Structure formats: C-alpha cells, structure tokens
Amino acid sequence: MKADRQLILEDGSVYTGIGFGSRRDIICEVVFNTSCAGYQEILSDPSYTNQAVVMAYPLIGNYGLADEDYESRLIAPGALIVRDLCDDPSNFRSTCSVRDLFEEKEIPGLCGVDTRRLVRNIRDHGARRGILTDISVPAEEGVRRILDALIPHDAVARCSCRKKWYSRTSNPRFHIVAVDCGMKLNIVRMLNRRKCNLTIVPYDTGSEEILAMKPDGVFISNGPGDPADVPEIVEMLKGLHGQVPLFGICLGHQLIARSYGAKTYKLKFGHRGGNHPVKELSTGRIEMTSQNHGYAVEEASLEGTGLKVTHINLLDGTIEGLSRESDKVFSVQYHPEAAPGPQDSIQILDRFLDMMKRG
C-alpha cells in the first residue's frame, strides 16, 4: 500500500507510513518502548496519556487483544506508531485486532514506519513533540502547528478515577488506600492476592479524608506526565508523613520525593521497556525491571530531606528507590507488578506488607 499519513517531529524530520484507526490529526510527545511483547498492557497503561508510543519491536498485533489483559479501561496513548501491524492474530484468546481497537476507539495509528530510524532519532536527540497528519501537509506547516500547540498539564486528572471504588479479597489482613494517579489494574490484583482490601481514591483526595478511612497503609500509584503538574498530591503526602506506612511507584515515587523537598527533572528520552537493570544498594541484588517514565529524582536535591537512596539504575545511574524509615516511607521508580515485563521485583510488595504489619 502507498503511504498516506506521516509523522512530523518538531525538528522537521518526517516519517511516512500507512494510517489506521482515526484519520484525525493529533499532536503528542513522541516516545519509544523497547518491549518485545505486552503491547496490549502498554496500550492500556494510563502512564502513556498524551503520548504517541513508538514500538521498537517491529511486529505488533500478532497475538491480538484479549479482554482479560487490559490494564485499565482506557486506551491511553494519543497515537501508536509501528513497523509491521498484524491484522490476522494467532491466539485462541484474542477477541479483536489492534486495528479494530483503534478504529473503535477513534485513536490515530501509523504503520509501515522506519521505526529504527525514528527510535534512533529520539534516543540521540531526546523525546519531542510530533504531529500525526495527512501526507500532503508540508513539514514546515507541521512544525508550526506543533510549536503553536499548548502543552497539556492535566494528564493525571484525565486518567484518575472520578470517585472512590473498592477491590476486596477474602480474609483480608490489611486495608490499603490506593491513590489513583493512573493506576494499572495488576497492582490491584497483586495486593488482593496478598490479602489486602483496597480503597482506590481520586488523585485529589486530601490527607484528612484518607486518614479518616483508617488505612493500614497508603499506596501512591504510577501515572503520566510531569510530577510538578500535581502539587495537590504533594500537599496531601505532606499530611501523611509519619502518620501511616507509605509506598509509591513510578510517578508516586517522584511525588514522595517532592513532598520531602527533593526536585525532579526530565530525562532525555525516558525509561520505557521491560529490561532495565536495577541494583538494590543494601544487598547488591540486581533485578530486571519494567519501567515507563520520563522524569527522575535529582540526587543532589536529596540533601536535608532525610530520604535515603535504596536502588539505582545500572544503565544511567539514576535513582530507582528511596526510603525514610523514621516515617515508614519508601518508593521505587520501576513497576514491581510488571504487566508487561519481568517479575524479579514483585517481592517489594511484601516489604510494604511487612511495614504495615509493624504498624
């Protein structure tokens, strides 16, 4: 088939391909994911809100989509960009194809793209915005439209739940309040399996309301965007310091750091994939982790916060874990629940349970 759509980046580079899903134009930050499998979980991960996801692995859609494997009710990315899109899945569990899903949800997609060249551009020069549009649009016009477009700062508000909801298990040992910043369902499943009842609350719930629920612990979830965009969560966390065991992952990790006065910064192209090696400093243990974030905690800003670095990323030395034992607080930058990805770090959930057991 002949190319009919294109991705124009704000540096003026052009990547042509064949459109699928919606034909509407969309402007997003363009990021890449290096996972070889798990595209359904990636598509339903709210952390990709406002982003166009480039899959570095060339073949996407070959095992279709299964109703049980979604990580949220959302199809989160603004767009999907792939090399080869399979329209004939081979999987007895599959209920539809990626193309069918994108047509149903009216989300733009682009296939037939030289994703090797695109990923290398992002890797070398950093994540940037792009526009997915008709092939007839000149590159100069595309760049102008990108630069004129406002950068959204409401990603967490868009994907957080609107009202609190519950996920219960039999013979529960603990009650956890989970703050939904864009939470994946597998973290709920993992905590339920560990005999925890969960009350999931919107991102803008106040600390007094959370403490009134008498939780044994509070969990701050993953989510999209810049942690500086949600100061209300930082203020809520300040009200929880020392009051209740506190555990955060991904965006939750960054927000906990900011609540103690640390700073965060934007990474060049982020960490998105299922093969990031992380070292636990106290034991020397190395885990392969699943990650999806574009920001990190600034190490120099930790001085005077009382936070201790517990984990580091072995690829670039960035901070992957923090703790403050006196306040019963700890956090990790990666996704211990995986989905998709390796399950090396699931035991970090047991550390949260041990902390709640000690009170």
Which CATH number does the domain housing residue 140 bear? 3.50.30.20
Residue 131 shares a structural domain with residue 266: no
- The answer on pLDDT for 344 being more than 90 is no
106, 121, 152 — which closes off a domain? 152
234 and 197 in a common domain: yes
Distance CA 13, CA 124 (A): 14
Distances (CA, A) of 25 to 7, 139, 142, 145: 10, 14, 10, 11
| Per-residue model confidence as pLDDT tens digits over 7-49 | 999 999 999 999 999 999 999 999 999 999 999 999 999 999 9
The CATH number covering residue 305 comes to: 3.40.50.880
- What pLDDT sits at residue 102? 97
| Same domain, residue pair 189 and 120 | no
- The helix (H) or strand (E) run that includes residue 53 is strand 51-55
pLDDT surpassing 90 at residue 272? yes
Specify the pLDDT at position 1.
79
End-to-end, the C-alpha distance of the chain in Å comes to 62
Whether residues 182 and 292 fall in one domain = yes
Residue 272 phi/psi, 5° resolution?
-140, 105
CA dihedral sign, ordered 270, 159, 154, 131: positive
Backbone angles phi, psi at 55, to 5 degrees: -90, 120
Q: Which of 198, 196, 199, 200 is nearest to 173 (CA)?
A: 196
User: How many Å apart are CA 119 and CA 32, to the nearest integer?
Assistant: 6
Query: For residue range 212-230, what is the model confidence (pLDDT) as tens digits?
Result: 999 999 999 999 999 999 9
Q: Whole domain around residue 39: which residue ranges?
A: 5-152
What's the rounded mean pLDDT across residues 200-223?
Answer: 98
pLDDT at site 339: 79
**148 plus 270 within the same structural domain:** no
**Amino acid identity for residue 179 in this structure:** V
The pLDDT of residue 342 is above 90: no
Cα 183 to chain centroid, rounded: 8
Measuring CA to CA, how many Å separate 229 from each of 136, 168, 238, 343?
Answer: 36, 31, 16, 30
Angle at 141 between CA 139 and CA 146, to 5 degrees: 95
Is 178:42 a contact under the CB 8 Å cutoff?
no
Judgement on whether residues 98 and 165 belong to the same structural domain of the protein: no
pLDDT of the residue at 346: 84
Q: Which of 203-207, 286-290, 332-336, 344-348 has the lowest mean pLDDT?
A: 344-348
Beta strands 14-21 and 246-249, pairing class: unpaired
How many C-beta atoms lie closer than 10 Å to residue 186's C-beta? 18
Q: Characterize the bridge pairing of strands 79-81 and 51-55.
A: parallel
| DSSP secondary structure string for all residues of 123-146 | HHH--EEEEEEETTS-HHHHHHHH
For the segment 157-171, the average pLDDT, to the nearest whole number, is: 96
Domain closes at, from 117, 136, 152: 152
Calculate mean pLDDT across residues 338-357: 87
Which residues are catalytically annotated?
250, 335, 337
For 113-162, the pLDDT digits (tens) are: 999 999 999 999 999 999 999 999 999 999 999 999 999 999 999 999 99
Question: Maximum Cα–Cα distance for the chain, whole Å?
Answer: 64
Element (H, E) at 354: helix 348-358
Which of 127, 152, 177 terminates a domain? The answer is 152
Residues 110 and 196 in one domain: no
Average pLDDT over the chain reads 96
* DSSP 8-class letter at 151: P
pLDDT digits (tens, 9 = 90+) for 78-112: 999 999 999 999 999 999 999 999 999 999 999 99
Q: 235 with 314, same domain?
A: yes
**Residue 67: predicted pLDDT:** 94
On whether both 144 and 238 belong to a single domain, the answer is: no
Tell me how far apart the alpha carbons of residues 199 and 176 are, in angstroms, rounded to a whole number: 6
Alpha-carbon span 219 to 250, nearest angstrom: 11
Do 211 and 115 have their domain in common?
Answer: no
pLDDT tens, 287-302? 999 999 999 999 999 9
Q: Is the pLDDT of residue 341 over 80?
A: no
Pair 89, 34 in one domain: yes
Structure token pair of residue 42: 């990636």
- In terms of domains, do 293 and 350 share one? yes
Lowest mean pLDDT among 129-138, 161-170, 259-268, 339-348: 339-348
pLDDT of 359 strictly over 80: no
Q: Which residues pair with residue 31 across a beta bridge?
A: 53
Q: Which residues contact 256 (CB under 8 A, 6 or more apart)?
A: 220, 237, 246, 248, 322, 329, 331
The domain tally of the chain equals 2
Check residue 338 and give its pLDDT.
76
CA 297 to chain centre: 16
- Residue pLDDT, tens place only, 303-319: 999 999 999 999 999 99
